[in-house]
């Protein structure tokens, strides 16, 4: 086997929905303000965005809606079969996401994924506290975090495959041995990828795992 590790983006790759945090805005009725803040700060000041959204808009709300979104999140077709097949091949699997760690842990439990790295909103006594633990406060963190994961797992980045679906994943694509744009709307990402899968069947990833 040439490759030892596959690093998956979560939203839109493992799960059908491609943006958990935007679903949170619908759930908590913060769409107008939430989307305005995201537009303004996502690429320039992630800390400010998290402070405004988690620290102000959602703070003090019941976490019920958050847990409901996690419970009802749906897997893309082929998820179970893909991870069973990857386990058989002896390749390590990992989720690296700017979505919530709680959702990544659900996938880890259900699919037998080796490790997960995500962002966490702190919940106490079933309430959103307004605190958060973010992987990084740099929009382009996924490239650096990806390299950190490779170090942690003793895998050369060139022996890793990355799978992603949006522009933010490009930072990882640039550093990995092989990259797959999965069910993506982004022409930019597809251009940067070594392979493109144009539907949401996760089993199609298998043919590139050699
Ligand atoms: Mg995604």
Q: What is the mean pLDDT of residues 180-197?
A: 97
DSSP bridge pairs for 196: 181
What's the CA-to-centroid distance between 38 and ligand 1, angstroms? 16
What's the CA-to-centroid distance between 12 and ligand 1, angstroms? 5
Q: What is the mean pLDDT of residues 144-166?
A: 95
What's the CA-to-centroid distance between 128 and ligand 1, angstroms? 24
Cβ atoms within 10 Å, residue 165: 23
Tell me the two tokens of residue 177.
């041995």
Q: Which domain holds residue 23?
A: 5-208
| Higher-scoring residue by pLDDT: 43, 201 | 201
What's the CA-to-centroid distance between 49 and ligand 1, angstroms? 18
What's the CA-to-centroid distance between 130 and ligand 1, angstroms? 24
pLDDT exceeds 80 at position 189 = yes
Q: What is the mean pLDDT of residues 24-40?
A: 97
Q: What is the mean pLDDT of residues 49-64?
A: 97
Q: How confident is the model at residue 142 (pLDDT cuts 50, 70, 90)?
A: low
Q: What is the pLDDT of residue 117?
A: 94
Contact (CB, 8 A) for 25 and 37? no
3-state SS, residue 15: strand
Contact (CB, 8 A) for 161 and 180? yes
Rounded percentage of the chain residues whose pLDDT exceeds 90:
90
Q: What is the pLDDT of residue 1?
A: 76
| pLDDT tens-digit series, residues 167-176 | 989 999 999 9
What's the CA-to-centroid distance between 166 and ligand 1, angstroms? 6
C-alpha 117/C-alpha 9 separation (Å) is 10
C-alpha 58/C-alpha 201 separation (Å) is 34
What's the CA-to-centroid distance between 183 and ligand 1, angstroms? 10
What's the CA-to-centroid distance between 174 and ligand 1, angstroms? 16
Q: What is the pLDDT of residue 140?
A: 67
C-alpha 94/C-alpha 26 separation (Å) is 28
Looking at the structure of the chain, the number of domains it has is: 1
Q: What is the mean pLDDT of residues 13-24?
A: 96
Q: What is the pLDDT of residue 210?
A: 81
Rounded percentage of the chain residues whose pLDDT exceeds 70:
98
Q: How confident is the model at residue 195 (pLDDT cuts 50, 70, 90)?
A: very high
| pLDDT tens-digit series, residues 104-141 | 999 999 999 999 999 999 999 999 999 999 887 777 66
DSSP bridge pairs for 15: 11, 75
Write the CATH number for 189.
3.40.50.1000
């Amino acid at each position: 086997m040439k490759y030892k590790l596959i690093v998956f983006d979560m939203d839109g790759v493992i799960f059908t929905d491609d943006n958990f945090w935007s679903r949170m805005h619908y759930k908590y009725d913060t769409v107008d303000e939430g989307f305005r803040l995201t537009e303004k700060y996502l690429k320039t000041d992630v800390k400010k965005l998290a402070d405004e959204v988690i620290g102000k808009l959602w703070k003090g709300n019941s976490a019920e809606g958050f847990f409901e979104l996690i419970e009802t999140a749906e897997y893309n077709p082929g998820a179970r079969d893909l991870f069973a097949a990857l386990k058989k091949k002896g390749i390590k699997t990992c989720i690296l996401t700017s979505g919530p760690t709680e959702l990544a842990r659900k996938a880890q439990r259900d699919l037998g994924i080796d490790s997960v790295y995500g962002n966490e909103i702190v919940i106490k006594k079933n309430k959103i506290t307004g605190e958060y633990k973010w992987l990084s406060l740099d929009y382009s963190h996924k490239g650096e975090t990806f390299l950190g994961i490779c170090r942690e797992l003793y895998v050369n980045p060139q022996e890793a495959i990355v799978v992603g679906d949006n522009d933010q994943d490009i930072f990882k694509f640039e550093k990995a041995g092989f990259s797959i744009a999965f069910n993506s709307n982004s022409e930019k990402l597809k251009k940067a990828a070594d392979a493109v899968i144009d539907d949401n069947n996760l089993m199609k990833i298998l043919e590139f795992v050699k």
